[in-house]
Structure 1
Amino acid sequence: MNEVVGRDDLLLLTLDTLRYDVAVAAAAAGRLPHLTARLPGGTWEKRHAPGNFTFASHQAMFAGFLPTPARPGRHPRLFAGRFAGSETTEGHTYVFDTPDLVSGLAERGYHTVCVGGVGFFNKQGALGSVLPGLFRESHWEPEFSVASPTSFEAQVARVERIVAELPAERRLFLFLNVSALHQPNWFHLPGATREAGDGLASHAAALEYVDRHVGRLFAAMSSRRRCFAIVCSDHGTAYGDDGYTGHRLGHEAVWTVPYRHFFLEPSA
């Protein structure tokens, strides 16, 4: 990462609330053609989330604690704040001396941009301003929210505009929080009704919706130079699993998340 940072643009795409089992099944069934074309081997990696709800997980990720591989061992991190005694900081780890990765990248000359989705990014109160406040530029509109059936399209359109207006020589760190997977998501499933509510089928349908538009995001982020992309969930969510519903709880469906990182090569 010490070669990547300062050379490439960076993308952190969090698919808020996406369950690992749903992501894996959709990929295996060929329902995510645009994502699987980019994922190494066309598959997701199983990891454990650093938090069980959006605020906690993103606070950790912005401090350099991305989801941890779901297997025993000491797993070196891509990014880390300088911290004496860290056992997961190695030679390839990009180490920053600021309180968080966002400001660390800003010190390296990156223009840092947040395109929010769920309520923790809506800037409508003190709590909803904490995470977007880390960035030099932040965006949130009602059209980006969990209530919008076209949220991801609107978010991608905003990214396209941001990229087009940024000077070509300026490096970009873009963070995008995808709200489409989060409840309510019933409207992404053809024939579903508000009364029927959300479930695993509508959760998967929401992921398919994201896949239909993610190619535009990847194209925008690789339009200026190579981009290093991290695509993951911040946590999962329960739909009646063992009697549990929602997240901010310690169920396996919440702690287990899909993750991948890869390069987006610039367009020819």
Structure 2
Amino acid sequence: MPLTEPDMNEVVGSHDLLLITLDTLRYDVAAELAATGRTPRLASRLPGGVWDERHAPGNFTYASHQAMFAGFLPTPAAPGPHRRLFAARFAGSETTAAGTYVFETPDLVSGLAAAGYHTVCVGGVGFFDKRGPLGSVLPGYFQESHWEPEFGVPSPTSFEAQIDRAEQVIAGLAPGRRLFLFVNVSALHQPNWFHLPGATREAGDSRASHAAALEYVDRHIDRLFDAVSGRGPAFAIVCSDHGTAYGDDGYTGHRLGHQAVWTVPYTHFFLEAP
């Protein structure tokens, strides 16, 4: 079932916005778990219970998020052109059309701030840790940004800690202020062996532990959706920024041009106020 493409000019200003990147999540793993009932909460948000197959705008976190923050979300894995939800105004864009929200700034985050949104980043992987100049670039787009070691890749409870912080931010925001909340979920990224029962540090990460990490995220993600929708109507985008290889054709990791890295899951949907 194809995704319905909303007119974002009607959404921006009337809805809160939530962008979740499930960092490093492979499309094939996401699709398999949805089809076999292992991620029921996420699957319930997908049209027909199926993820949209897309191509990532970059093959590692920094490149992909720079593109997404400029309005280049993952592209449908089919011949285009495909209308984008958001785009900076520039001449000759073939993917800006009626229904695209066009912003006048260099990036989506500042464009939404100019439209009256309070922009918040809850970081996850190292490119959001603010521990040095490189880790400060992406969170620096936002008016408010958060990162703690408990949010990071080595933490087996990272997503729960990120949701705790998101709930605190939401509780402190004026009810009439529109919110753009971005959450970079670190749980899928290596190391993830500790999410798979019986796995060991010595055995390392695997496609199976990657899948177990997605099951962990699924167990908690409704709490994040509920926190956002508790403020009023919202529009959510959930996707991966890139995949990762676990020995596929001899490749391991990402920042490389393998199908397992370029192909990512994507969906978007409305969150209605309770």
TM > 0.5: yes
Runs of 4+ displaced beyond 6 Å: none
Q: Equivalences for 1:222-233 in 2 at 5 Å?
A: 222-233=229-240
Partner of 1:153: 160
Give unmatched runs, 5+ long, in structure 1.
none
The alpha-carbon deviation at position 19 of structure 1 amounts to: 0.1
Please tell me whether residue 199 in structure 1 is matched to residue 206 in structure 2. Answer: yes
Size of the aligned set, in residue pairs, is 267
Query: 2-side partners of 1:34 and 1:226: how far apart?
Result: 19
For residues 211-260 of structure 1, the C-alpha deviation after alignment (integer angstroms, 9 at most, x for no partner) is: 00000000001001111000000000000000000000000000000000
TM norm structure 2? 0.97
Identity of aligned pairs, percent? Answer: 79
Partner of 2:66: 59
Residue 244 of structure 1, aligned match among 233, 244, 251:
251
Partner of 1:77: 84
The alpha-carbon deviation at position 22 of structure 1 amounts to: 0.2
Q: Equivalences for 1:13-52 in 2 at 5 Å?
A: 13-52=20-59
AA aligned to 2:105 is: T
Alpha carbon RMSD of aligned pairs, Å? 0.4
Residue 168 of structure 1, aligned match among 175, 186, 207:
175
For residues 40-60 of structure 1, the C-alpha deviation after alignment (integer angstroms, 9 at most, x for no partner) is: 221100000000000000000
Secondary structure at the counterpart of residue 194 of structure 2: helix
Partner of 2:270: 263
Residue 138 of structure 1, aligned match among 140, 145, 160:
145
AA aligned to 1:18 is: L
TM norm structure 1? 0.99
Secondary structure at the counterpart of residue 156 of structure 1: helix
Give unmatched runs, 5+ long, in structure 2.
1-7
Partner of 2:4: none
Partner of 1:104: 111
AA aligned to 1:128 is: G
The alpha-carbon deviation at position 39 of structure 1 amounts to: 1.5
Partner of 2:10: 3
Secondary structure at the counterpart of residue 270 of structure 2: strand
Please tell me whether residue 94 in structure 1 is matched to residue 110 in structure 2. Answer: no
Residue 235 of structure 1, aligned match among 236, 242, 247:
242
Q: Equivalences for 1:112-131 in 2 at 5 Å?
A: 112-131=119-138
AA aligned to 1:171 is: R
Residue 221 of structure 2, aligned match among 214, 217, 223:
214
The alpha-carbon deviation at position 164 of structure 1 amounts to: 0.8
Secondary structure at the counterpart of residue 2 of structure 1: helix
Query: 2-side partners of 1:40 and 1:175: how far apart?
Result: 22
Secondary structure at the counterpart of residue 87 of structure 2: strand
The alpha-carbon deviation at position 37 of structure 1 amounts to: 1.1
